[in-house]
Amino acid sequence: MPNSDISISIPPKLVAELRAAQHVAVLTGAGISAESGVPTFREAQTGLWAKYDPEELATPYAFQRNPRLVWEWYDWRRELVAQANPNPGHLALAELEQRMPKFTLITQNVDGLHQRAGSRNVIELHGNINRTKCFDQGGIIDFWPPTTELPPRCPRCGGLLRPDVVWFGESLPQKALHTAFTAAEQCDLFLSIGTSSVVQPAASLPLVALEQGITTVEINPNPTPLSARVTYMLPGPSGQILPVLLETLNQP
């Protein structure tokens, strides 16, 4: 295999801007997880799960109707996530955070791979599959008594426990959204990585940055609706581009 990194060159002006940046904001999407082998919702629907519509597995109504089925679906996906590891793209972002005065990492992914790579300031727009909350009261629940009952029950109120992810038909967490849009407005460099740039409201974040005249970079193997508008488009997987970007940044 030839070294595919050879063809990647980072524009010198972008390197200079990154070096001078005080606040970098980053949006990541499914692409960076796919590079770690995390299957998408649809891809995870193999075997006995293939026969269900997403509406039967990931809505509040589905949970009320068949909480055990929904809990087991998320157990299965937690298992798939546990088998995956952060890739060089995740690791490069964690390292980039270390060298920036301020760094806001906004993700549409629920797998927690950024945190496992060492990222600290992670804004999760769609929640985290490894976190559990009370269906009735919404509070995050870290521990519950061992039980054979599925889903387990909330130790505070006895309600059913559910994954802390945003289901179809649910609104995104307000605080995370607010932090994300504020970062897009106030950063001095915005990176959009591995996202199709079609799912709202996340797709608006790079547009907000562009409207402010902020340098915006897209890293994606394939062109998206955003590609023609960004300041720099770096075509390729994040696991190849980001380490080269970091390396270039570290050169004297």
> Whole-number minimum distance, CB 7 to Zn ion, in Å?
53
Contact residue for Zn ion among 24, 25, 96, 134 (CB under 5 A): 134
> Whole-number minimum distance, CB 141 to Zn ion, in Å?
7
Tokens of 116: 């496992």
Closest to Zn ion by CB, 139 or 223: 139
159 sits near Zn ion (criterion: CB under 5 A): yes
Closest to Zn ion by CB, 91 or 160: 160
67 sits near Zn ion (criterion: CB under 5 A): no
CA dihedral defined by 159, 162, 164, 169, rounded to 10 degrees? -100
157 sits near Zn ion (criterion: CB under 5 A): yes
> Whole-number minimum distance, CB 162 to Zn ion, in Å?
10
> Whole-number minimum distance, CB 167 to Zn ion, in Å?
17
Out of 23, 90, 114, 126, which one is annotated catalytic? 126
Tokens of 240: 């190849």
Whole-number Cα distances in Å, 231 to 84, 182, 192, 216: 32, 20, 11, 5
Contact residue for Zn ion among 137, 169, 178, 199 (CB under 5 A): 137
**Where does this chain touch Zn ion (CB under 5 A) — which range of 22-30, 95-103, 147-155, 231-239?**
147-155
Closest to Zn ion by CB, 68 or 156: 156
Closest to Zn ion by CB, 161 or 234: 161
Provide DSSP, the chain: ---GGGG----HHHHHHHHH-SEEEEEE-HHHHHTTTPPPHHHH--GGGTTS-GGGTSSHHHHHH-HHHHHHHHHHHHHHHHH----HHHHHHHHHHHHSSEEEEEES--S-HHHHHT--SEEETTEEEEEEEETTT--B-------SSSS-B-TTT-PBEEEEEPPTTPPPPHHHHHHHHHHHHH-SEEEEES--S-STTTTHHHHHHHHTT-EEEEEESS--TTTTTSSEEEES-HHHHHHHHHHHHH--
155 sits near Zn ion (criterion: CB under 5 A): no
Contact residue for Zn ion among 13, 68, 120, 156 (CB under 5 A): 156
**Where does this chain touch Zn ion (CB under 5 A) — which range of 11-19, 86-94, 152-160, 171-179?**
152-160
Closest to Zn ion by CB, 67 or 159: 159
**Is 126 an active-site residue?**
yes
Count the residues of the shown chain that bind Zn ion, applying the rule CB under 5 A: 6
**Footprint of Zn ion on this chain (CB under 5 A)?**
134, 137, 154, 156-157, 159
Q: Which sequence positions are flagged as catalytic?
A: 126
